[in-house]
Structures are given as structure tokens and as C-alpha cells.
């Protein structure tokens, strides 16, 4: 009985575990600030080196707390790259949530339920961050120690700003379905273009260029939000 349990657990843990420590060198700016607990909070069994949360105690199967500052790419089993496979990301997301979602911990002790919430929330955050090109790009910059463009940076080119201003002005006009459709298409096209350029910039490791392009993408993301708000019937 114990052996069968251990085998199932081993299989589950292997599925959940991310790539090993030899996969990529640890960057300076991300990593656990506090060493993870070395023993299970529930039964006291020693925990093997925390490799890719979430993990369950080998002794009593209790869910352990997530690491303090996990690498989201590692968590979602994606290479640390701007290029991702959205299907693979989604599959990983679903499989992780199947293991840790609070719905599955309703009968467990409060502490474990709390850890389940933390894991689930972290996985949501990781998924959303990596799914969206803008947030993915900004996160990559952060991992590489590059600050995202600040509001006070004044080197945005005026041609670009004029373009944004014009779209803003059109959005400020009274609601017109046809115009909104047009603007929506324009924004989508621009976002696709920029995403391609950002991909290329990251590929050749040009982080400064990626930073500039991501700043432009932010403008379009804001426009997209404005447009969505405009479409909501008032």
C-alpha cells in the first residue's frame, strides 16, 4: 500500500517539478530571499531541496508553502524566453491548478488550505504574466535587471506620440460603432507589429530596444482599455 502510494506521489511530483538546477544559472535579482522550510510543517519529515513548487511532503502528502519569490518561467516550465508556446503554457497551468486548487483542499486543515490558496493564486499570476506579451516582456526585463521605462522618460519619439494622440482624440468622440471597430483593428495590428519587433529584439538580446518597444506597447494597451470602456453600454 505504501509503495503504491509512494509511486503515485513520485509520479505526481515528477510531473510538477520544473527543470533542474543545471538548466539555467540563477539570476541576481530573483530567487528565494528566505530559504524554504527544510521540514514538513505537518509531520516534520525532512523535505528534499525545493525544486519547482508546488510540492507535497514525501511523508504525509501535505501541501507545502510556495517559495517566496519563484521564477515564473520555471514554475510554468517554460524556457526563459520571449517566445512561448501558448498551448503548452495553458496545459501546464491547468495541470498545476488541478493539483493545488482550493476546491480540492476543502477537507484539509486550515493551514494547508491557506497554502493551496497561495499556490493557486501564484499560478494564476504566473499564467497571466506569461500569456500576455506586454507583461511577459516586462517580466523578462525585470529578470535581466533592466528597469521598465518610467513615466518621466522623455525620449519617446514625437511621431509616435502624435499617433497616440490622434487615436485618443478619435476615442474621445461620441460613440460610433464603425469608428470603434476601425480603431480596434488598428490597435490590434499595431500590437501584433510591436510584438514581432519585441520578439526580434529579445532574440538578439537587445534589451534596451525591447524596453523602448515595450513602452510603446504600454501605450497601446492603455488605448485598448479605453476602447473596452467605451464599448461598455453606459
Partner 1 sequence: QVEVDENGKIVDARFKTFGCGSAIASSSLATEWVKGKTVDEALKIKNTDIAKELCLPPVKLHCSMLAEDAIKAALADYRLKQDPNKEEPEK
Which residues of this protein are in contact with partner 1, per CB under 8 A? 151-152, 158, 164-165, 168-169, 172
- Residue ranges of the alpha helices (H) in the chain? 2-16, 72-75, 86-100, 110-131, 133-143, 158-172, 177-203, 207-231
CA 203 – CA 197 distance, rounded (Å): 10
61 contacts 43 by C-beta, under 8 angstroms: no
CB of 226 to partner 1, least distance (A): 9
Q: Closer CB to partner 1, residue 22 or residue 169?
A: 169
Beta bridge partners of 63: 56
Going by C-alpha positions, the residue among 58, 54, 33 that lies closest to residue 46 is 58
- What's the min distance (Å) between Cβ of 64 and partner 1? 38
CB of 58 to partner 1, least distance (A): 48
| Closest CB to partner 1 among residues 45, 222 | 222
Compare residues 2 and 150 and give the one whose CB is closer to partner 1. Answer: 150
Q: State in angstroms the smallest separation of the CB of 66 from partner 1.
A: 31
Contact 139, 130 (CB under 8 A): yes
Amino acid at each position: 500500500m505504501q509503495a503504491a502510494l509512494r509511486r503515485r506521489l513520485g509520479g505526481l511530483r515528477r510531473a510538477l517539478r520544473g527543470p533542474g538546477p543545471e538548466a539555467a544559472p540563477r539570476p541576481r535579482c530573483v530567487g528565494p530571499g528566505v530559504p524554504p522550510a527544510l521540514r514538513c510543517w505537518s509531520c516534520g519529515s525532512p523535505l528534499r531541496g525545493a525544486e519547482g513548487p508546488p510540492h507535497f511532503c514525501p511523508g504525509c502528502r501535505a501541501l507545502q508553502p510556495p517559495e517566496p519569490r519563484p521564477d515564473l518561467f520555471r514554475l510554468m516550465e517554460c524556457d526563459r524566453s520571449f517566445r512561448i508556446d501558448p498551448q503548452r503554457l495553458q496545459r501546464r497551468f491547468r495541470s498545476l491548478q488541478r493539483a493545488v486548487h482550493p476546491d480540492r483542499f476543502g477537507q484539509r486543515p486550515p493551514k494547508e488550505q491557506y497554502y493551496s490558496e497561495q499556490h493557486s493564486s501564484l499560478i494564476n499570476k504566473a499564467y497571466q504574466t506569461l500569456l500576455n506579451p506586454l507583461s511577459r516582456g516586462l517580466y523578462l526585463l525585470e529578470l535581466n535587471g533592466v528597469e521598465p521605462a518610467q513615466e518621466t522618460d522623455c525620449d519617446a519619439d514625437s511621431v509616435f506620440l502624435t499617433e497616440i494622440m490622434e487615436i485618443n482624440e478619435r476615442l474621445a468622440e461620441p460613440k460610433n460603432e464603425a469608428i470603434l471597430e476601425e480603431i480596434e483593428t488598428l490597435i490590434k495590428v499595431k500590437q501584433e507589429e510591436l510584438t514581432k519587433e519585441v520578439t526580434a529584439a529579445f532574440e538578439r538580446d537587445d534589451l534596451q530596444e525591447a524596453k523602448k518597444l515595450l513602452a510603446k506597447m504600454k501605450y497601446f494597451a492603455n488605448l485598448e482599455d479605453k476602447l473596452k470602456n467605451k464599448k461598455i453600454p453606459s
